[in-house]
Amino acid sequence: MTDKIRLMIVSGVREQGKDMFAVQVNDEIFVLDAGLKYPDSSLFGIDVVIPDLDFFAEYGDRVAGIFLTHGHADSIGALPYILRQYDIPVFGSQLTIELAKIEVQRENKTRKNGLFHVIDAETEIDFRNASVSFFHTTHSIPDSLGIDIHTPAGEIVYTGDFKFDPTASEHYRTDMDRLAEIEQKGVLALLADSSNAEAAFPNAAEQDVADYVTNVFRNTPGRIIVAAKGSNLNRVQEVLDAAKATGRKVLLTGRDLAKIVRTAMKLGYLEVADGLLMRVKDLKTTPKEKTVILETGRMGEPLQSLEKMANNRHSMINIEKGDLVFIATTPSHAVETMVAQVSDMVYRAGGTVIQLGLNVHTSGHATGRDLQLLVSTLKPKFLIPVIGEYRLMEVHKELAIRAGMKRENVIITKNGDCLEYDAKKKRFYLTSPVPGEDIMIDGSGVGDVGNIVLRDREVLSDDGIFIAVVTIDRKKKKIVAEPQVTSRGFVYIKANRQLMKDAIEVIKQAIQNNFEHKKFDWTELKQDVRNDLEKFLYKQTNRRPVVLPVVMEVNQNRHRIQQKNEAKKEQNQGQNSKPANKKQTKKPNRPNRGRKVGSRRPVSKKGHTGKNVKKQVAKKTQKQTDNE
């Protein structure tokens, strides 16, 4: 029997972030990473985007586990939403699992700790149809791992986010010997990071980056505000070391950063000198030239927090004259515009900006040379570029061809593609797709915001909304009250009174035409009003606002009340016409208990009958009974 081997691209190609891939070997599926991505400006109001959860609805009973490469949001961010519905084992290094637990607990207060399993680079897990092992990789967070799935047809290797840096410290160093061992087994397919494939220059050694950060701190006379991703522990360590070397104290802002730092310190991945960290209340007493504020923002994204600081809207810190904002993370292409805008705001507030990425070429992702070195080391039969936008995947493909791979063996995919291996022909071919759509998270809603809602939000942001309210009497087929119109974000009403008057006439005509030529239907009536208004407003203004017609009917409540009264009358008539032989029971007359008819019982201030009054009534009633 031929083994069935499939590569499922759920998400993470032709985009930046939201990494999730799967390898199927017969009836077992191994999921590689489960990340999220942060939305760009086109996704109005969306908080984050995650992979298609329909994948687990369709294949969940065959998923053997989710295997994590590292602790960044693009690798672990979708776990809270997956584990909310499905009990699937999760495997990762010690730090990765601890960060995953923090991520899950933030969204789900009751997390399922029994699903998390800690592994390391020496671990090998045997399943029915395959075995899974791991190897150390270099990234901006310690204990990052690559994943190797041993199948009957050969090794399938997934790098996750990685780069090569021979000078990296122990917790960040790639295990080149392990890569050589995997190559000896024969690599069938390599899924490799494409995020930094365009980089023409090699990444600077992390020791050089640390020296640069220290020099910036030493040459800054005032307060320093460092903007960095909280999960970039390598950069956090360099900031802490630079502060210690220059005699400064560090304030950590945000709960997320504090949790991450405490977790990394507890596990020994972060070294913090005694007395280096300070509290918010210490800001007033600590000199500015001795202060470093490490800002990561909500969910590890610092730019929005910097914007609030520059506009005096931050809860704790405002940017003042003489402050240095040190952007210590190389921004992705998607947020470069936002970085420029925030930098402008900082300068307006009196501060200055230094971007690490403009002065030192550093990234947590492999350059073109690194990718070619990886191909030369593993010698895969097939390469599937992942984790990167389309142009980066194409660059990755050309780099691999120059490194000796055949063009037809480098496969560019899209989200939802499923590649099945034909052992006889020794090639991959496309088969039935897997769920690969985006799931958008807006507040507590998961997937309830789709393209239609986003299109409405886009229209609202561009041309605003136009609301028309009209009351009709459908029986008499006439408009009872003059239609009322208003708008928001469309036109200035006071300067466009004639437009509003003309719009009212359009509404009247649309309703009258509907009465005369169509059988009454609420949906059709509203649609007629909407269509006529949209045409009229576009003709007059060349704008397409969202038109919201509100049509009400007069006397609806009166008709309902009449129906209820008639129903009650019929019910009473039915009760009065009972059989005559039925015994009529008469309630006995109750004694007056000493009170006149219509008199009121005294009430205390608290609203209850007073004790003294109760006693007096009881005595009076007893006397009447004795006399009788």
Q: Which residues make up each annotated binding site for substrate?
A: 361-365
Structure-block tokens of residue 72: 């960044």
Q: Per DSSP, what are the bridge partners of residue 227?
A: 295, 327
The DSSP output letter for 449 is -
Q: Of 333, 384, 387, 367, nearest to 15 (Cα)?
A: 387
Rounded distance, CA 607 to CA 610, Å? 9
Binding site feature residues? 361-365
CA 435 and chain centroid, separation? 19
Cβ–Cβ under 8 Å, residues 9 and 51: no
Contacts (Cβ under 8 Å, ≥6 apart) of 32? 19, 20, 21, 22, 23, 67, 69, 147, 158, 160, 191
Rounded distance, CA 428 to CA 419, Å? 6
Contacts (Cβ under 8 Å, ≥6 apart) of 58? 434, 435
Alpha helices in 466-521 (DSSP H): 497-517
What residue ranges in 173-311 does DSSP mark as E strands?
187-193, 224-227, 249-253, 277-278, 291-295
Angle in degrees, 0-180, between the axes of helices 233-245 and 255-267, rounded to the nearest 10: 90
What residue ranges in 433-524 does DSSP mark as E strands?
439-442, 445-446, 465-473, 478-488
**Which pairing describes strands 63-67 and 90-92: parallel, antiparallel, or unpaired?**
parallel
Judged by phi (left if over 0) then psi (alpha if -120 to 50, else beta), residue 339 lies in alpha
Please give the C-alpha separations between residue 184 and each of 20, 137, 138, 154, 239, in angstroms, as whole numbers. Answer: 27, 19, 22, 10, 41
Cβ–Cβ under 8 Å, residues 429 and 420: yes
Report the run of H or E that residue 57 belongs to, with start and end.
helix 54-59
Give me the count of residues in the chain: 628
Rounded distance, CA 203 to CA 209, Å? 10
Rounded distance, CA 418 to CA 8, Å? 5
CA dihedral 254, 255, 259, 261 (to 10 degrees): 10
Alpha helices in 219-250 (DSSP H): 233-245
Place of tokens 């006379």: 221
Torsion sign across C-alpha atoms 159, 161, 167, 173: negative
Report the run of H or E that residue 421 belongs to, with start and end.
strand 418-422
Please give the C-alpha separations between residue 112 and each of 9, 37, 121, 122, 206, in angstroms, as whole numbers. Answer: 27, 24, 24, 25, 37
Rounded distance, CA 440 to CA 52, Å? 9
Contacts (Cβ under 8 Å, ≥6 apart) of 50? 18, 35, 36, 77, 78, 81, 438, 439, 441
Please give the C-alpha separations between residue 239 and each of 28, 32, 194, 270, 529, in angstroms, as whole numbers. Answer: 44, 32, 28, 11, 62
